[in-house]
Chains A and B, each alone.
Chain A
Amino acid sequence: MQRRTFLKAGLLGGTALACAGWLSHDTFWGKGTHLAAKGDHRYDFLTEADHAVVSALAPAVLAGSEAAGNPKLTEEVVHAVDQTIAAFQPSVQAELRQLFTLMTLAPTRVLVCGLWRDWPAVTPDDADAMLRGWHASRTALLRSAYDGLQQLITAAWYGNPRSWPALGYAGPPPFHNNGEVTE
């Protein structure tokens, strides 16, 4: 991301987030957009546009992991993010709806994310630059937006048993506590 765009983002991020709150009334759950659906995965929170955001961010957040270069695993991550958000309280879901609205509407995407290209065309390098900008931002709202996205995406991947072998973690011990042996 260009430095100037990022500085603007820092200054205007708060205002933009406030605007997104108002704008998101028109997009909240199904008005003008529709929930994502990919193969067997039904989505309960993320719209098609949000799906593109998380799909673009995941390879940057999970850089170096098996999920980063594997579209099938990335899709599992995005779906797990969706299911996590769907279990959040309504007030937290509403905050995330504002954040996704801000990130998916073209003017605020350019202003706050510093991304001229729309999400399906965003490269892992673009996403990484944007995330680093938010991580170090002077604007507390962007820092906490970074934290929220980072935590959702990393929890989605490292909660998936496919990620465990790379960590030296064999998973929970096999156990007969429910009549079945866990993996």
Chain B
Amino acid sequence: MIPDPIAEGLANGWSAVDASGLSENKTLETDVVIVGTGAGGGMCAEVLCAAGFKVVLIEEGPLRSSRDFTMRESFAYPELYQESASRKTKDKAINILQGRCVGGGTTVNWTSSFETPPPTLAHWQKHHDVAGCDEAAMKPWFDKAFARLGIHQWPVPPNPNNAALQRGAEQLGLSFEIMQRNVRGCANLGYCGMGCPINAKQSMLITTIPAALDSGAALYSRTRAVRLMFSGDRVQGVVCAALDERGVFPTGVQIEVRAKAVVLAGGAIGTPALLLRSGTPDPYQLAGKRTFLHPVTAATAFFEEEIRPFEGAPQSIYSDEYLWPEGADGPMGFKLEVPPLHPVISATVLDFPGSAHHTAMARLAHIQGMLALCRDGFHPDSPGGQVNLRTDGSPLLDYPFTDFLRDGFRRSLKAMVEIQFAAGAKEVVPLHRHSQPYKTWAEAKKALDALPMDPTMVRLFSAHVMGGCPLGEDPRQALVNSEGRHHHLQHLWVMDGSVFPTSIGSNPQVSIYGMTLKNAEALVKSLKS
């Protein structure tokens, strides 16, 4: 039997309420209310509790733990992801994977861990008036996150899915590296995306959140932050709605949390949406604009030998060969990684009408997948998307394509297909509505030169939503200062991926941890003064 720290904590009397079971409205008073329990909310909660402050955590998703994590997609997607892992941009061109559970994205991510790349920090300093976030200033905070979450280079040989990226890169003389992961005692199972069944992944769910709850913090799950309360230039708290057991419809029960300070950590779609619903001051209309996705292109390859892409650490090799082609603000760069392929995720991305679909699925154990995280937001022709509100107040991200993006998508697909053939693939299918299984690199290259890189034609995904509430010293282009404090409302702070002025250029969890650790200290100082 695997020890379950959540079940133990609940048995020991944690203050944790599943709001779907509440029948009466509640009003709470606290020092700080944190909206969201992912990378930002979790880290911030631990810092505040350690400093002695009373904290209430608000989470839209459910509290689940290792005993629930049965490694089944049919459980994980509806329970642990926003919109059952089917969240899409307005034109339905990009499928967005975002966590929605206690621990947020950290409960379901693939454990890939990178400090913010130095060219990204330099770009923010130069173009976005971000202060105190250069490489040297950030290093102690990243070190702290590494130590807290056991982040280290993965010592186990890559699974065949990742080994193919390494082999292809070696054949072509491209650079590649071994991944750093936030795991302790990992059994190399490969089900990180469905919640770690053995608590090896050092997510917020099993690290900072239990620490905060042990210190007396209160957690409300199945609770949606609806709007901020503020008077004049001071924020006063947040009004929340309890959701039903499925997390779909509000039950009608309201929870009002009054606090000395409010921290927004609901992610780069949720945080701007809450600001927009609340009508908080935003004289330069920045909330929800410049939202970035690391749009992901992907290619699947069929190998004669078994790949078994559903087993083993999902991401253990990456290549930054094409990440900074002409510096930070040249043509769009991309980071190459590998996705795990379980039956549902594979079935929904393999796009062949008729029996060809099942024929491809029947070869699942021989499929190798590759993905490219496209680095958006660094060039004037990559302004990102805009979070808007539907009539029911729910967020909808509009993410228009530009020729700059199309060029990056095409180059990234070509790069992946070339590597897959170099690694020994017999057939490669770049994910595009009109692509075919190609038998040679030359044939695939010719096809990719012609295929239109338009919405709902090229298949795009995103697992990293960033921006929409950017930090910086100049209120004309930033909504919060470099420490995450709102420029126009006192006692309102933002600590999640929405503060980034561009995308990161690598998987963002450690960027959020580092920035949050730094900014939570600033919040502690402000609360003490």
Chain A residues engaging chain B, CB cutoff 8 angstroms? 60-65, 68, 80, 83-84, 86-93, 128, 131-132, 135-136, 140, 143-144, 147-148, 150-151, 154-155, 157-160, 163-164, 166-169, 172-173, 175-179, 182
Q: Are B347 and A87 in contact (CB under 8 A)?
A: no
Bound: A160/B310 CA distance, A: 16
Stretch at the interface among B39-47, B66-74, B211-219, B466-474: B66-74
Given contacts A91-B392, A159-B74, contact A63 B364 (CB under 8 A): no
Chain B residues engaging chain A, CB cutoff 8 angstroms? 1-2, 4, 66-74, 77-78, 83-84, 86, 91-92, 189, 191, 197-198, 246-249, 306, 310, 342-344, 346-348, 351, 353-355, 357-359, 361-366, 390, 392, 394, 396, 433-434, 455-456
Bound: A166/B353 CA distance, A: 19
Chain A nearest CB, measured from B465 CB (Å): 16
Q: Are B394 and A89 in contact (CB under 8 A)?
A: yes
Bound: A16/B443 CA distance, A: 40
Q: Are B68 and A159 in contact (CB under 8 A)?
A: no
Chain B nearest CB, measured from A74 CB (Å): 14
Given contacts A158-B346, A158-B347, A175-B197, contact A63 B354 (CB under 8 A): yes
Query: Which B residue sits closest to A163, measured CB to CB?
Result: B343
Bound: A62/B77 CA distance, A: 21
Given contacts A88-B83, A151-B348, contact A182 B246 (CB under 8 A): no
User: Please, which residues of chain B bring their CB within 8 A of the CB of A135?
Assistant: 353, 433
Bound: A154/B247 CA distance, A: 24
Q: Are A177 and B74 in contact (CB under 8 A)?
A: no
Q: Are B456 and A151 in contact (CB under 8 A)?
A: no
Chain B nearest CB, measured from A87 CB (Å): 4
Chain A nearest CB, measured from B288 CB (Å): 17
Chain A nearest CB, measured from B302 CB (Å): 13
Q: Are A84 and B84 in contact (CB under 8 A)?
A: yes
Closest 3 CB pairs of A and B: A172-B71, A168-B365, A64-B355
Number of A-B contacts (CB under 8 A): 143
User: Please, which residues of chain B bring their CB within 8 A of the CB of A64?
Assistant: 355, 357-359, 362
Bound: A157/B71 CA distance, A: 17
User: Please, which residues of chain B bring their CB within 8 A of the CB of A62?
Assistant: 357-358
Contact of B71 among A144, A160, A175 (CB under 8 A): A175
Bound: A179/B361 CA distance, A: 32
User: Please, which residues of chain A bring their CB within 8 A of the CB of B361?
Assistant: 65, 158, 166-167
Q: Are B343 and A151 in contact (CB under 8 A)?
A: no
Chain B nearest CB, measured from A110 CB (Å): 22
Query: Which A residue sits closest to B1, measured CB to CB?
Result: A176
Query: Which A residue sits closest to B391, measured CB to CB?
Result: A91
Given contacts A167-B364, A177-B67, contact A88 B343 (CB under 8 A): no
Q: Are A167 and B70 in contact (CB under 8 A)?
A: no
Bound: A71/B197 CA distance, A: 35
Listed by A's residue number, 22 A-B pairs whose Cβ atoms lie within 8 Å are A60-B354, A61-B357, A62-B357, A63-B358, A64-B362, A80-B74, A83-B78, A84-B78, A86-B248, A87-B248, A132-B354, A135-B353, A136-B434, A144-B456, A154-B348, A158-B343, A159-B73, A160-B74, A167-B343, A172-B189, A172-B191, A177-B69
Chain A nearest CB, measured from B270 CB (Å): 12
Contact of A140 among B70, B91, B189 (CB under 8 A): B91
Bound: A167/B355 CA distance, A: 14
User: Please, which residues of chain B bring their CB within 8 A of the CB of A68?
Assistant: 358
Given contacts A147-B92, A168-B365, contact A173 B343 (CB under 8 A): no
Q: Are B392 and A90 in contact (CB under 8 A)?
A: yes
Bound: A154/B350 CA distance, A: 10
User: Please, which residues of chain A bring their CB within 8 A of the CB of B355?
Assistant: 63-64
Q: Are B2 and A158 in contact (CB under 8 A)?
A: no
Bound: A29/B523 CA distance, A: 48
Q: Are B248 and A167 in contact (CB under 8 A)?
A: no
Q: Are A155 and B348 in contact (CB under 8 A)?
A: yes
Contact of A89 among B83, B351, B357, B364 (CB under 8 A): B83
Q: Are A128 and B83 in contact (CB under 8 A)?
A: no
Given contacts A80-B74, A87-B84, A140-B455, contact A63 B357 (CB under 8 A): yes
Q: Are B189 and A173 in contact (CB under 8 A)?
A: yes
Chain B nearest CB, measured from A23 CB (Å): 19
Query: Which B residue sits closest to A145, measured CB to CB?
Result: B92
Q: Are B353 and A132 in contact (CB under 8 A)?
A: yes
Q: Are B310 and A169 in contact (CB under 8 A)?
A: yes
Query: Which A residue sits closest to B191, measured CB to CB?
Result: A172
User: Please, which residues of chain A bring their CB within 8 A of the CB of B394?
Assistant: 89-91
Q: Are A88 and B66 in contact (CB under 8 A)?
A: no
Q: Are A87 and B78 in contact (CB under 8 A)?
A: yes
